[in-house]
Structure 1
Amino acid sequence: MLNKKKELYVAVAVGLIALGGAAVFASQSSSGDNAAKDKKPPASLTSVTISDQQATHIEVVPVKTYDFVEQNEAVGYIDFNQDATVQVFTPYQGRIRQVFVKAGDDVRKGQALFSVDSPDLVTAESTLISTAGLTKLTTAALERAKKMLETQTAAQKDVDQATADQQTADANFRAARDAVRIFGKSDADIDRLLQTRKVDGELTVNSPLTGKVTARNAAPGLLTQPGNAPAPVTVSDLSTVWMVASVSETDLPRMKMGQSVSVAVMAYPGKIFQGKVNNIGIAIDPATHRVGVRSEIKDPEHLLHPQMLATYRIRVADPVQSAAAPLNALVREGDGTMTAYVTKDGRTFTRRAVQTGLEQEGNRQILSGLQPGEKIAADGAIFLSNMLSLQSR
């Protein structure tokens, strides 16, 4: 009987323990469910506040306005302005006696480049001397015939013949003088030749323009002929150069003669050279479907050199004034949107999505999201983006 009571007590105790455990579990489960219901995900933050020390690393700039110009870009190269480049040949065959310049020299119009021993010049000068003597002789004969006619010691036909001879001699003299002048001799040189009656076959070839000697193939003793390449000397005016580029045929309708062009070369980062389109090709390259576009570029400092690689932008529309932000003020977020961080006091920054457009000279066009005059973070905008991301977790 005692054993049965003992077993009953044990059974009751086990039941009470089980019932208590169930009650505790139910209570904890209910409490956990309520806590889970009360816990909500944090809202996405859009503002961040920084300390005074952090603010020293953040550059705040105002949103400004900028005239954005729609432009087409192309790649090409620098070339000589062929309209201002002259291959200087001698007008007559001869052997080079002296060369007065070297490649790279600056020359003035009329400056001596080289001289040539020209047999043709010797012939022309000899003819001039002989016709000058014949002219003098026929002129004297005409004067004598006129005096004899006055004393009736000569007939009129003798005077007429003397007049014809004098006119023929004078015409030949003038032609011979012009022939020598073609060789580059001045009137002073010709008068000196007639006075000394000494033939000089050295022909001096002068520069036809002011510029720089860009090529020299002349050397003493070298036989040169008119038009026989290579030219002894080439002179170019480098105050303007050509920029030659290939443009896609789809851009051709937007190309116009006289359009403004901005050219940049790797040798001078940040420097822009200005010019205008002066030639648009007629034929399309069948392999690349591109067309050549040539621009004349002003280069008064002579910084550009032929065959330099260059990029240029052609203005194809009128400027459009728009809000603009520095490139470092815009942050591309993880979802691909572009954002800027706007502030009023330099301590609290609010993230704002923006739509962007053209990029020119370190400025990005703002189509929406910002207004001119608003203050935004420039240097340090990336820091604000990272800081805001950490606080949102």
Structure 2
Amino acid sequence: MKRVLAVIAALLVAGCSAQAENPAPRPVVATAGGPVRVRLDPAQLARAQITTATAQKRRLGLQVLTGGQVQSAANRTLQVATAVDGLIERVNVQAGDRVQAGQVLAVLKSNDVSQIESELMQQVLELQADRQQAVVQVNLTRSQRDRERKLFDDRIGSRADYEVAQSEYQKALAALTGIDSKRTALITATAERLRLLGALPGEAVRVVGERRVDDRVYIRARRSGIVTERSVNPGELVDADDSKPMFAVADLSEVWLVGQVFEQDIPRVHTGLPVSVRIDSYPGKTFTGRLDYVAAALDPDTRTLAVRATVYNREGRLKPAMFARMTIATGSVQVLSVPAEAVQKSGEIYVAYVPVSGDTFEERPLKLGRTIGNYVEVLAGLKPGEPVVVRGSLQLQGQAQQLAS
């Protein structure tokens, strides 16, 4: 029994000696007075799935980022109002409906229209009575002219009598023509008045033909688009002098995005710059446009400057009042840079990890400049052409912090 225990003890001592001679790879090796180096064993390397990128000079687009709100473009929006006082009889659309130019949005009953049509009908009736008398006069003077002509041809009557009869006939004919012209002008003028008030096309001709007054006015869309505002309901009285529109119809194939930029960004912002817009409702979708307005003065409360971009929206996805993120492209610059994912914060400094062998990585303190898109400008700490760890850099930082603690 003692012999067996002695053998086991000898094996344990031999095993400990072997481990001392061949230690397992430590995760971090700090060289004396030198940079921190992290070494990973095969299992750690497999889990980290390390990828690298090269520190190099890249031409990067400069940007100003801001939030904003979508608005319908004022130059593509028409306010629809009434030209007469009246009572709303029917409303045919809701806010958000798509309408075509000429489509009836609402119908109202107006005393102004009925009065105009009544006056037209009365004047036409008076002209009709005048015309009947004029027709009688034309017939009489024509008969008198024909008789005088026959007498003159038979050498019984005088030329003077015939010429007087001919003149009277021409006067009667001119009077009849004048009445017809007056009737036509009256109908044309009334039709234009009714058209401006919103009556149906051909309404004046209908009144004359049917001798019936219709007091309805048809409020129509003057352009195709989306109804963005509706402020009336059936049964309401509307006033032509009221400045509030009944409807607003907007063409949303282009919209405005209004945002604010901070004071430090003002020197880089001007009209004409391209913009890209992203919105949470459509992840992965980017809308494009151009900056077309920069305010002349700061908002004294927020110390920001209002800007506005016209954004293309042909699919109609952007809706008024939506919030969006706007990126204003202000130019480009060529700088030494690495992907932002390669940079980690370690205490008060930023670091990146440079491969020095298949399983060992050197921690490099960095002096950084601007973050431009997905890249970070490197002012010191790396040289052009040096590789840096991108995927896996967070795991390397964790190993380094584990040793430091």
What is the match of residue 330 of structure 1? 343
**CA deviations over 1:255-307 (Å, ceiling 9, x no partner):** 32222223344555665433222222234444555433222233344444444
Q: Distance in 2 between matches of 1:68 and 1:366?
A: 13
Structure 2, unaligned runs of 5 or more: 1-30, 147-164
For 2:203 and 2:310, how far apart are their aligned partners in 1? 40
Map Cα deviations across residues 301-358 of structure 1 (whole Å, 9 max, x no partner).
4444444444433333x22355653322112334514323346x75343444545443
Rounded Cα–Cα distance in structure 1 between residues aligned with 2:179 and 2:172: 11
Structure 1 counterpart of 2:51: 60
Distance 1:81 1:162 in 2: 56
Q: Name the residue aligned to 2:26.
A: none
Deviates more, 1:382-391 or 1:273-282: 382-391
Alpha carbons 1:277, 1:296 under 8 Å: kept: yes
Given that 2:199 and 2:216 are in contact with CA atoms closer than 8 Å, whether structure 1 keeps it comes out as no
**C-alpha displacement of 1:117:** 0.7
TM-score normalised by the chain length of structure 2: 0.71
1:102 corresponds to which residue? Answer: 94
Distance in 1 separating the partners of 2:267 and 2:402: 51
Say yes or no: does 1:295 pair with 2:309: yes
CA gap of 1:342–1:240, structure 2 versus 1, over 3 A, is: farther
Query: 1:194-236 CA deviation, whole Å, 9 max, x = no partner?
Result: 4433322221111223232233232221111225254333333
Task: In structure 1, give the amino acid aligned to 2:40.
Answer: I
**1:87 lines up with 2:79 in the alignment:** yes
Contact 1:125/1:199 (8 A) holds in 2:
yes
Partner of 1:204: 218
Within 5 Å, which residues of 2 pair with 1:166-245? 166-185=180-199, 187=201, 191-228=205-242, 230-245=244-259
Are 1:276 and 2:311 an aligned pair? no
Q: Are the equivalent residues in 2 in contact too, given 1:55–1:346 (CA < 8 A)?
A: no
User: Deviation digits for residues 96-133 of structure 1, max 9, x if unmatched?
Assistant: 11111123322222222110012222233334445556
Query: Cα offset for 1:366?
Result: 4.4
Counterpart contact for 1:44–1:392, Cα < 8 Å: no
**Structure 1 stretch displaced more, 324-333 or 361-370:** 361-370
Aligned length: 350
Structure 2 distance, partners of 1:390, 1:251, is 40
Distance 1:363 1:90 in 2: 57
Cα distance change, pair 120–338 in 1 and its aligned pair in 2 (3 A): same
- Per-residue displacement from partner, 1:148-194 (whole Å, max 9, x unpaired)? 28633652444444444443333222211222222344545555554
Displacement of 1:95 in angstroms is 0.4
Following TM superposition, by how much is the alpha carbon of 1:364 offset from its aligned partner in structure 2, in angstroms?
2.8
Query: Would the aligned equivalents of 1:45 and 1:388 in 2 still touch at CA under 8 Å?
Result: no
Q: Describe how 1:345-360 pairs up with structure 2 within 5 A.
A: 347-360=359-372
How far did residue 54 of structure 1 move? 1.9
Cα shift at 1:91? 1.8
Superposition pairs of residues 115-154 of structure 1, within 5 angstroms: 115-130=107-122, 141=134, 145=138, 148=142, 151=146, 152=165
Query: Aligned residues: percent identity?
Result: 26
> Is the aligned partner of 1:78 residue 2:73?
no
Q: Which residue of 2 aligns with 1:387?
A: 399
CA contact (8 A) 1:69 1:315 kept: yes
Structure 1 alignment gaps of length 5 or more: 1-40
Partner of 1:30: none
Distance 2:67 2:128 in 1: 69
CA gap 1:357/1:283 in 2 versus in 1, 3 angstroms:
closer
Change (3 A) 1:338 1:138: farther
**Within 5 A, what are the aligned runs for 1:352-371?**
352-366=364-378, 369=382, 371=384
Q: Is the 8 A contact 1:135 1:173 kept in 2?
A: no
Q: CA RMSD in A?
A: 3.7
Give the conservation status (yes or no) of the 8 Å contact 1:339–1:352.
yes
Contact 2:61 2:329 in 1 (8 A): yes
